[in-house]
Amino acid sequence: MFSVKEKQQIASVIEKTLLDLNHPEMPKEKPRFNIHIDGKEGWSWADIEPNWVYEDKAPGVNPFNKVSREIHKKMEEKS
């Protein structure tokens, strides 16, 4: 759904927001998060992780599709 650049922009804003809260239960750097965004179509979605998990290696095109399918499959199996 989003381009790699857009995902990186979103991840940067989320990380900054989390760290700016200075919550006592949050790490002081490299907060871990995963965000799943559903688009307006069933096939339209995006999974976003922190930029630092890629260690300056930009992810390829649609790197989350396989992971997302596995997560949804596990969720369906639990239902």
Per-residue pLDDT, 63: 56
**Cβ atoms of 39 and 46 closer than 8 Å:** yes
The CA distance from 60 to 23, in Å, is: 33
The tally of domains found in the chain comes to 1
**The model's pTM:** 0.67
Please report, rounded to a whole number, the percentage of residues in the chain having pLDDT higher than 90. Answer: 47
What confidence tens digit (pLDDT) does each residue in 34-60 have? 999 999 888 889 999 998 888 767 666
State the average pLDDT for the chain. 85
Range of the domain at 14: 4-78
